[in-house]
Structure 1
Amino acid sequence: MALVLAFIFYFLIGISNSYGQLKVGFYDETCPQAESIVRNVVSDAVLSNANIAAVLLRLHFHDCFVEGCDGSILIDDGNPNAERHAFGHQGVGGVEVIEKAKEQLEAVCNGVVSCADIVALAARDAIALANGPSYEVPTGRRDGGISNISLADDMPDVSDSIEQLKVKFFNKGLTEKDLVLLTAAHTIGTTACFFMTKRLYNFLPGGRPDPTINPAFLQELKAKCPQNGDANARIPIDSGSQQSFDIHILQNIRSGFAVLESDARLNDDRTTKSIIDSYFGLLNPLFGPSFEADFVDSIIKMGEIGVKLDFQGNIRRICTSFN
């Protein structure tokens, strides 16, 4: 009897080790063209509009922070309570790129590649096309069956305090270092003046701005986002390096040139400031920590938040609607 129980135990352990894990090359046998198809679609999109790289990276982040990395943000089935309509997802785009990749994948590998994996792969390829690091993406995610606007209530917000940001990242299994590195993804892309109004014109009583903004940069920001100007006008988040994925965003944060309020708060906190400063030490870049390598570690870690595996999800035929 004991022998039988031992056999059952090791059999179950074997099952748990065989299933329920993401892995690099998950589609090597079932859909060998999967990653190259996504890469080609993303490349074409970025060639048409360089800002798409930042859009796809942001899409991955917003997907993972609600219900895990399961493609829930893509759902657009006419339901006004679908997740993508949440206030915290304002301006999130790139769904059409994911759908185009999905259409091509379905033509050669019907029902094999999940929309959630396409989102993760597209973000990886977007980073590389913006001169950022190349890395391998563990795949094997399944698509989730829930998309609800209420589940996006805890998305990080540009007006969050550093304490709120830490808690929101901690609740997803991410550290203060991950907070700094994933925030640094703002090195590419733009933001709307709408998100600057409070910081520039109503941060302190009397209509005063955020005092941490470098005075020279404050005038530049006010010129780009005048108080009664176009709230939808867009400005680079990483002033001076908006198209290139690099460490410049962290230097801007250190120097008072952060555009977003939440980015600036990283320089106010002792722990997050020390993490930023570690990338600018005397021994860098030869002997100090590598910003690019650490970013890759953090985004891979983020890409594993709440993933659905095996029978926990399915493979959508169309990314914007449930099967």
Structure 2
Amino acid sequence: MASFAVAFSHFAILLLTAVSLGSSLSLDYYDKTCPSADFIVTKAVRNAAYKDKTVPAALLRMHFHDCFIRGCDASVLLNSVGNNKAEKDGPANLSLHSFFVIDDAKKELESYCPGVVSCADILAMAARDAVVLSGGPTWDVPKGRKDGRTSKASETIQLPSPAFNISQLQQSFSQRGLSLDDLVALSGAHTLGFAHCSSFEGRIRNFSPASNVDPAMNPSFAGSLRNMCPVNNKAKNAGANMDTSPTTFDNNYYRLILQKKGLFSADQALLNFPKTKNLVNEFASSKEAFTRAFVNSMIKMSSITGGQEIRKNCRAVN
């Protein structure tokens, strides 16, 4: 734990010097230079989601994983080159997918308005579209991000872990200028998607000398997860849905937490602090309150900037 604290402190200094809340972003950034930018991105996301219902969750997660490293600079899209292993090849990102959606949008944008729209802006818009196509709220995405030139797999260790406790979560979010309110609202993104067994297996067997199962988990829920994730299971795609409606953006995630059916330790940890517990209760009882808070926190998170250029190819620096 001591080594983690030192590493995190060093990374926090790096993060705060490399990124900032994007004061240069604006809603009309492309009105004159590429007025169809939003439409082109939305079309690419819609076409992909029509063929594969897992695309929205993948794009939303991709945006989070991008913003939490060096700011929302599309560094997660860069390919590894030579001896440099990029973020997408870090352990926490190996299950990311649907990069082709960003490529498709970028290709059309380059033919319509070359050299204008950043990959970081495309990813931010695609994350918004992913929520909308899943039945969630829409919002105007502030634009004007630049793309980063650095991507290191070693830095993905700084992503919030599914095993984090509430103190670790608070520290991770606060280092990025995000509050406890943002933590609870943005955790609601777990209403979409699927998790592999490795993300929660430590909670369902051999949890501690005193308990085989995490006491914070509903025993019957743990039993169902053990059936999905048998011992020595080698199936790469074994796992569980994040909530009971994994392709619909709703507030079921919070209701399940109150039933001790949060999939990750980090999900259930939201009940371990009065303020976050109160917000879980509020969002569980009101989808409107959740979606309103989620939109505000998404705009705040996606406004953490840190790039330097407009890439011609989202997978490579210029």
User: What's the counterpart of residue 34 of structure 2?
Assistant: 31
Q: 1:237 and 2:236 equivalent?
A: no
Kept after mapping to 2: 8 A contact 1:237/1:259: yes
User: What's the counterpart of residue 3 of structure 1?
Assistant: none
User: What's the counterpart of residue 83 of structure 1?
Assistant: 87
1:258 to 248, 255, 262: 262
Equivalenced residue count is 295
Q: 1:72 and 2:75 equivalent?
A: yes
**Distance (whole Å) between structure 1 residues aligned to residue 52 and residue 215 of structure 2:** 35
Q: Structure 2 matches for 1:98-117, cutoff 5 A? A: 98-117=102-121
1:44 to 44, 47, 68: 47
Q: 1:225 and 2:229 equivalent?
A: yes
Which SS does the other structure have where 2:104 is aligned? helix
Decide which moves more: 203-212 or 296-305.
203-212
The structural deviation recorded for 1:153 is 2.6
The structural deviation recorded for 1:280 is 4.6
Q: CA RMSD in A?
A: 1.7
**Distance (whole Å) between structure 1 residues aligned to residue 202 and residue 104 of structure 2:** 38
Structure number with larger C-alpha Rg: 1
Kept after mapping to 2: 8 A contact 1:194/1:231: no
Structure 1: gaps spanning 5 or more residues: 1-18
Kept after mapping to 1: 8 A contact 2:160/2:169: yes
**Distance (whole Å) between structure 2 residues aligned to residue 234 and residue 77 of structure 1:** 28
Kept after mapping to 2: 8 A contact 1:201/1:227: no
- Per-residue deviation, residues 75-123 of structure 1 (Å, max 9, x unmatched): 1043442222222223122211101110111011110000000000000
In the superposition, the TM-score normalised over structure 2's length comes to 0.88
- Per-residue deviation, residues 149-205 of structure 1 (Å, max 9, x unmatched): 233231100111111111000000001111111111010100111212211113212
User: What's the counterpart of residue 198 of structure 1?
Assistant: 202
**Distance (whole Å) between structure 2 residues aligned to residue 279 and residue 195 of structure 1:** 24
Which SS does the other structure have where 1:65 is aligned? helix
Decide which moves more: 43-52 or 73-82.
73-82
**Distance (whole Å) between structure 1 residues aligned to residue 212 and residue 229 of structure 2:** 15
- Per-residue deviation, residues 7-57 of structure 1 (Å, max 9, x unmatched): xxxxxxxxxxxx951111311110111110100000011011111100000
Kept after mapping to 1: 8 A contact 2:145/2:305: no
Which SS does the other structure have where 1:235 is aligned? strand
Structure 2: gaps spanning 5 or more residues: 1-21
Percent identity (aligned): 38
In the superposition, the TM-score normalised over structure 1's length comes to 0.87
